[in-house]
């Protein structure tokens, strides 16, 4: 196991290198000049040239990349063009809301989607099964921002049950913290629930046809025991796999959801930095998201050994 972990961690190095090259190159190819945005509409060409020189944007692209990578290897993410702060401090300030939103979303999604998928598989062909499958299709079809604005209109504007937007740290009150994350978490959970419920149903359906399930039923075991201890446990590997893959959807959804609900997290920071052509901030945040995605998929691979004793690395 230790050898497997070491190999996987070493394999992340070329992955991160490719991500770094792609992010750096694509940002430079997009229209817009950070110096012009910083200088403002009334600036002269000399003002813009001076800002470009100060930011190092007048240097060759290869030299800019080498400087950025060198600083990155020393733990220096650079200084934000737009926010005039170090990128590390920006990320530290914004990571809390994003972590809270992502954690609540994952817990909510898994706790709803897995039972839905199991029940849909057990009730195959009934209205419950059709409802779950219909919800799955709808969850993938409707954009995240549409769901967000619909929930805001119903629960925040019409019913006035929850705040419209914003974020409150948990240290300032538990209810204020939760009330401002309920709607964003529900918005972000829809597509995640749809994905996990669909895969759970498919995996459990395959297991329910196995001989050991019929044997468990013949022994007179309770229905809940057959479904949870025998069917779901043996169908867990594909479910855990799709949970790991769905992290990519979660990261993309965080960017949109935080913008809709004005949550000062990493997603909102990414949008603001992209609009301002803030290269150091965008590069650092995307690299951070990539590292999180790779590490979570590594945890998923490790979880296989606990779910299925036949899997060994």
Write the pLDDT tens digit of every residue in 119-129: 888 888 888 88
Mind listing the pLDDT tens digit for each residue in 207-250?
Answer: 777 777 777 777 777 777 777 776 777 777 788 888 887 777 77
Q: Report the range out of 29-33, 82-86, 95-99, 137-141 with the highest average pLDDT.
A: 95-99
How many C-alpha atoms does 7 have within 13 Å on its Cβ side? 7
CATH (domain of 121): 1.10.3720.10
The pLDDT confidence band at residue 103, using thresholds 50, 70 and 90, is confident
Please, what is the Cα angle at 28 between 24 and 31, to 5 degrees?
Answer: 145
Inform me whether the pLDDT recorded for 260 exceeds 70: yes
Amino acid 66: pLDDT: 86
Cα 20 from Cα 68, distance rounded (Å): 10
88 found inside a domain = no
Mean pLDDT in residue range 191-207: 85
Boundary residue ending a domain (26, 42, 73): 73
Domain shared by 158 and 11, yes or no = no
Q: Is 59 helix (H, G, I), strand (E, B) or coil?
A: coil
Q: Which of 260, 263, 264 is nearest to 152 (CA)?
A: 260
Domain count, the chain: 2
Q: Which of 202, 304, 201, 188 is nearest to 247 (CA)?
A: 188
Amino acid 308: pLDDT: 65
Amino acid 4: pLDDT: 65
Domain shared by 179 and 147, yes or no = yes
Domain shared by 67 and 167, yes or no = no
Domain shared by 172 and 288, yes or no = yes
Alpha helices in 209-234 (DSSP H): 211-218, 223-225, 233-234
Cα 114 from Cα 120, distance rounded (Å): 10
CB 117 within 8 A of CB 197: yes
CB 305 within 8 A of CB 312: yes
31 found inside a domain = yes
Other CB atoms within 10 Å distance of the CB of residue 9:
12
144 found inside a domain = yes
Q: Which of 178, 191, 184, 187 is nearest to 113 (CA)?
A: 191
Mind listing the pLDDT tens digit for each residue in 4-51?
Answer: 677 777 777 888 888 888 888 887 777 777 777 776 766 677 777 787
Amino acid 46: pLDDT: 77
Inform me whether the pLDDT recorded for 54 exceeds 60: yes
Domain shared by 144 and 251, yes or no = yes
Give Cα separations from 43 to 34, 125, 228, 279 (angstroms).
13, 67, 67, 21
Mean pLDDT in residue range 247-265: 82
Boundary residue ending a domain (39, 73, 107): 73
Domain shared by 186 and 261, yes or no = yes
Inform me whether the pLDDT recorded for 61 exceeds 60: yes
Cα 77 from Cα 263, distance rounded (Å): 23
Domain shared by 243 and 183, yes or no = yes
313 found inside a domain = no
Amino acid 275: pLDDT: 82
85 found inside a domain = no
Domain that holds residue 269: 94-307
Domain shared by 145 and 269, yes or no = yes
What does the mean pLDDT of the chain come to? 81
Q: Report the range out of 47-61, 87-101, 222-236 with the highest average pLDDT.
A: 87-101
83 found inside a domain = no
Nearby residues of 22 by Cβ (< 8 Å), 6 or more positions away: none
CB 230 within 8 A of CB 213: yes
Other CB atoms within 10 Å distance of the CB of residue 248:
13
Amino acid 312: pLDDT: 63
Mean pLDDT in residue range 94-100: 88
265-266-267-271 Cα dihedral, nearest 10 degrees: 110
């Amino acid at each position: 196991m230790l050898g497997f972990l070491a190999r996987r961690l070493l394999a992340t190095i070329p992955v991160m290198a490719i991500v770094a090259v792609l992010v750096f190159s694509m940002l430079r190819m997009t229209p817009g000049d950070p110096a012009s945005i910083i200088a403002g509409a009334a600036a002269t060409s000399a003002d813009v040239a001076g800002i470009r020189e100060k930011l190092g944007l007048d240097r060759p692209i290869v030299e800019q990349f080498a400087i950025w990578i060198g600083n990155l290897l020393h733990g220096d993410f650079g200084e934000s063009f737009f926010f005039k702060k170090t990128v590390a401090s920006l990320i530290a300030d914004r990571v809390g809301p994003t972590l809270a939103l992502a954690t609540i979303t994952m817990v909510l999604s898994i706790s709803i989607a897995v039972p839905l998928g199991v029940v849909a598989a057990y009730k195959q062909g009934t209205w419950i099964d059709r409802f779950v499958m219909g919800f799955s299709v709808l969850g993938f079809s409707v954009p995240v921002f549409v769901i967000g604005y619909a929930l805001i209109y119903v629960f925040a504007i019409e019913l006035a049950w929850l705040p419209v937007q914003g974020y409150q740290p948990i240290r300032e009150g538990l209810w204020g913290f939760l009330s401002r994350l309920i709607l964003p978490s529900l918005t972000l959970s829809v597509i995640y629930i749809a994905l996990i419920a669909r895969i759970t149903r498919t995996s459990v359906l395959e297991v329910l046809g196995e001989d050991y399930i019929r044997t468990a039923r013949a022994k007179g075991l309770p229905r809940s025991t057959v479904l949870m201890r025998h069917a779901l446990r043996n169908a867990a590997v594909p479910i855990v796999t799709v949970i790991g893959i769905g992290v990519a959807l979660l990261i993309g959804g965080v960017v949109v959801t935080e913008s809709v609900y004005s949550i000062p997290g990493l997603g909102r920071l990414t949008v603001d930095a992209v609009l301002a052509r803030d290269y150091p901030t965008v590069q650092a945040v995307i690299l951070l998201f990539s590292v999180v995605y790779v590490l979570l998929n590594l945890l998923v691979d490790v979880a296989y050994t606990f779910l299925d004793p036949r899997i060994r690395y």
